[in-house]
Amino acid sequence: MTRILITSAIPYINGIKHLGNLVGSQLPADLYARYNRGRGNEVMFLCATDEHGTPAELAATKAGKPVDEFCAEMHGIQTDIANRFGLSFDHFGRSSSPQNHKLTQHFAGKLAEAGLIREVNEKQVYSNADGRFLPDRYIEGTCPNCGYDKARGDQCENCTKQLNPTDLIDPRSAVSGSTDLEVRDTKHLYLCQSKMKDTLDTWIDGKADWPVLTTSIAKKWLHDGDGLQDRGITRDLDWGIPVKKGDQDWPGMEGKVFYVWFDAPIEYIACAGEWAEANGKTDADWERWWRTDKGADDVKYVQFMGKDNVPFHTLSFPSTIMGSNEPWKLVDYIKSFNYLNYDGGQFSTSQGRGVFMDQALDILPADYWRWWLLSHAPESSDSEFTWDNFQQSVNKDLADVLGNFVSRITKFCRSKFGESVPGEGEYGEQEQALIADLTTRIRAYEAHMDALEVRKSAQELRAIWVAGNEYLQSAAPWSTFKTDPAKAAAQVRLGLNLIRLYAVLSAPFIPTASASMLSAMNTLDTSWPEDVQVALNALPAGHDFKVPDVLFAKITDEQSEEWQARFSGTRD
């Protein structure tokens, strides 16, 4: 049994996430977690809400609520939506937790001891209209690199270039929109990433199995221009983790907090501590996942994220971990994704463009969305959501292939043999050929899943569904029954066992439908098909079942047109 630690990029607290956010981190992470649990591996799947920094303050101000109250409320909302999407986190934590406060301050102290933090007197943008210094994300303007007119003061979300607020063309306050800005002196702490450059370079060179997207972004930040730069880790904000060296005050840093991009990745570790407290566990229970001196040396750690998060997870967070000189577990594999675009444009939380997770669930059950998003995951390049493609994929894959198979075989069995698995007949040459074909396909499916090839996994799973349909069409038990009822019974018995097999294989993608299939087959047997011959005899003769409700209803042209019109604008 392998032990696998999984984290997905933690979503900002500032609002409900759109489908692009979902497919870029949490959903494929859940796919991998469910698959590995199904294979019998021990999994720890962690995520949390990212509650500090500009997005939280701005959203709370807009909502007219204190920021702590707003964050608590939004954590509850995001937790509920995640549950309804079937995201199987072992714990969904909060970066504002006491555990993350303590651990972030601990890391800062260790980095200071190692000589990797320096104080910098710098100039920072001050808004006269707002009466405050503006952290990077409080400043918007035009990106000097690509010309995007809504770039933020820390990074352009369009081209992902790291920026400083003073780099922006025509900067303005994100709070008030005022252009009455000036530059004033202030003092902040910087993480000396430049001192870690060679260490990081060697570490990344050793990750030959990482996706090209991940390594290319990391290498670009390491070597382009002036190379890896030191990074500010404090901000002039009220809401956040107070700057301390462990439990000691940090002279000159009074009233400042740690930068959200310093404390947010540390929450991955702190989240395990939150899990332990919530479940009556000990420190040893969570440390075995995160400390190599406490058992984490045999853990495989996999991260999932969109490409805009790659620089922080390949450079900044590893600098924190390595720089602490403590035995923390480093990531083994980073699965990064390109962007999912929406109907000719971009999904955008800040601009409210696209379908958001709560809206999606108001329209259709989660499995419809899970299947489309994962089968169209933006792995090698950006992909695009269109309503026509969504309708075609749902109707052809889920309704016509999987749903139709389940409906046909169960209804036929009920009409000819009743609602129990028929016992007559043996599997013949045609059935053995199908078993051989499925064995090959299931091993290929496993290989793609192990390699975190999401789209190829979906394609292979669909091919496994198709194989059952083609067998059913060729065997035609409804015709066989007229001349050889025993042979027809064997064909039906195989078909009913295929439903259980499909439920097990499909659970990582469509867990609700999988549970429905298992319920219809009256079984709790979710054993993985290591031997397909054995798997297709799991439901014995005489085993009762019931004909399930329709697994997937087709999307009509009228529905597709209505939804396209409804979501053509921005979210209110």
**Residue stretches of the annotated binding site for ATP:** 349
Backbone angles phi, psi at 374, to 5 degrees: -70, -40
Location of structure tokens 């759109």: 18
From the list 58, 50, 567, 67, the residue with the least C-alpha distance to 357 is 567
Query: Please, what's the b/e burial string for 417-444 (b: 16 or more CB within 10 A of its CB; e: otherwise)?
Result: beebbbeebebeeebeebbebbeebbeb
d(CA 308, CA 323): 23
- Cα radius of gyration rounded to whole Å, the chain: 26
Q: Which residues are annotated as a binding site?
A: 143, 146, 156, 159, 349
314: Cα within 13 Å, side-chain hemisphere: 33
The burial of 448, by beta-carbon neighbours within 10 Å (0-12 exposed, 13-18 middle, 19 or more buried), is given as middle
Q: Which residues are annotated as a binding site for Zn(2+)?
A: 143, 146, 156, 159
The burial of 248, by beta-carbon neighbours within 10 Å (0-12 exposed, 13-18 middle, 19 or more buried), is given as exposed
| Structural contact between residues 159 and 206, judged by C-beta atoms closer than 8 angstroms | no
d(CA 25, CA 152): 22
From the list 509, 531, 391, the residue with the least C-alpha distance to 457 is 509
d(CA 54, CA 551): 43
CA angle 233, 13, 383 (to 5 degrees): 95
d(CA 515, CA 476): 27
Residue 394 to residues 239, 388, 399, 485, 556, Cα–Cα distance (Å) = 44, 10, 6, 35, 11
Beta bridge partners of 169: 142
d(CA 510, CA 367): 5
| Structural contact between residues 453 and 31, judged by C-beta atoms closer than 8 angstroms | no
| Structural contact between residues 164 and 90, judged by C-beta atoms closer than 8 angstroms | no
d(CA 490, CA 471): 13
